[in-house]
Chains A and B, each alone.
Chain A
């Protein structure tokens, strides 16, 4: 198990760190572009109007690129984790994976643990880089760091005062929901690839993507129907009742995602044990 994890981490690490470097570099460009766009530059007065227009355009492009690269960073790592699962299990590499002296459960668990860790690391680093850009924007826009800090403190105070004990509960529930959401999404991707590889003779990955969208659509419809009533309760209630309803909704979402993720894991394991045929 330890060895499986080691090689799963090693594979994604090779792609993760250069992608992170590009994301970090684009954040730097983004922050400089934000500064340039908001504050301008003293040397601008010396530039001809056409050149200034180009520099302005490049600054805006820098900000857009920063946002797109952060989104791409998250998507790339998510795709790499899922592709590793596909390639390692259902292509020629599967001949090695499934002849190792390990159980199917160990293989799946290793992929689930490493995938989850990469999802969390990527989400945290993307949030940190995005926040850096966001804070830079607010910082340069307010033009007064102290004023900005005071403003942020006030926002935090309002959140805690208005929500009372629920403030901490919301934060904890949101973090747990994020983590469980990562596991759910990961397992859903894995089982979609497994089903796609079993049902399709060719274009297995494409079939897996199709299965993923079918399952996601079905789950969205299901959650919209059953979550709708809770949302109506939140809108119609006073603040304390609304807080209670929000907290309950978050707990229900966590429970549903956790239970579905566990069921999906077990189903995937059964498929690998009973239906895997690397012809």
Chain B
């Protein structure tokens, strides 16, 4: 089943800058997709349009066959690249908040993950470090039994030691009929988690896409190496 369909999707913030230009993109359930591209190529813009935060200039986004509305927002679990929870809340209140707003939220799963990380429900968000806040955000997002998870740079702001935990959390918590879309430019770190990939160039052009294992087998290279080849970046 198609979880996500983007048809001829375009987005311009002003008359001069076309961030996405006629993008066609589809996701099916049961897979983790990596949307990989350099900074500023339109990855976050695409994710925000799917989440309903940005209005497309042209084209259409369908989640489980429905145009973006409060109904699709109930199916999509979105993790932005910045900290977005109200600082005045406690972690426990956040669990309550998610339980009240999302029917698919699993408070027990969230509590278990918080316990594993040693984060107290009594902690006020403003007292937590940026890294811990990001972990709390990820826990809340992944504790939902959503159809589509949109994770915008989920490991961008955390230390290398935490990245493994985050990727394991993503792999271990999405349901088999759901799709996960991860955007990042830290390809080496997310590569082991990906089933499918798409390299996005400037203007939102998909330069290369496919099954991650097949691409590695055919080229004899890792996705990280392929990415550098496609974007002609220097290996360092």
Q: Taking beta carbons and an 8 Å cutoff, which residues of A are in contact with B?
A: 3, 6-7, 11, 14, 88, 92-96, 98-103, 274-279
Contact = CB atoms under 8 A, between A and B. Distances in A.
A239 to B, nearest CB: 55
Counting from the closest, the 8 A-B pairs by CB-CB distance are: A101-B74, A95-B84, A278-B53, A92-B84, A101-B73, A95-B80, A3-B100, A101-B70
A221 to B, nearest CB: 34
Nearest to A104: B70
Contact of B53 (A95, A103, A275): A95
A11 B72 CA distance: 27
Query: Which applies to chain B's interface (DSSP): helix, strand, loop or mixed?
Result: loop
A277 B54 contact: yes
Interface residue range, chain B: 20 to 34
Given A88-B86, A93-B84, A276-B55, 15 more contacts: A6-B100, A11-B86, A92-B84, A95-B80, A95-B82, A96-B86, A98-B53, A99-B53, A99-B73, A100-B101, A101-B73, A101-B74, A102-B73, A275-B55, A277-B53
Nearest to A2: B100
Nearest to A3: B100
Interface of B: 13, 45, 48, 51-55, 69-71, 73-74, 76, 78, 80, 82-86, 88, 97, 100-102
A7 B97 CA distance: 8
Contacts of A275: 55
Contacts, number: 62
Contacts of B80: 92, 95
Contacts of A99: 51-53, 73, 76, 78
A214 B53 CA distance: 29
B55 A92 contact: no
Contacts of A11: 86, 88
27 contacts: A11-B86, A88-B86, A92-B80, A92-B82, A93-B85, A93-B86, A94-B53, A95-B53, A95-B82, A96-B84, A99-B52, A99-B53, A100-B70, A100-B73, A100-B101, A101-B70, A101-B71, A101-B73, A102-B101, A103-B70, A274-B55, A275-B55, A277-B55, A278-B54, A279-B13, A279-B45, A279-B54
Contacts of A92: 80, 82-84
A3 B101 contact: yes
Contacts of A276: 53, 55
Nearest to A277: B54
Contacts of B88: 11, 14
A88 B13 CA distance: 23
A106 to B, nearest CB: 8
A162 B70 CA distance: 57
B39 to A, nearest CB: 15
A92 B130 CA distance: 14
Contacts of B78: 95, 99
A181 B72 CA distance: 37
A101 B82 contact: no
Contacts of A88: 86
A102 B69 CA distance: 8
Contacts of B54: 277-279
B85 A98 contact: no
A93 B53 CA distance: 12
A197 to B, nearest CB: 13
A96 B85 contact: yes
Contacts of B97: 7
Contacts of A100: 70, 73, 101
A207 to B, nearest CB: 17
A276 B69 CA distance: 14
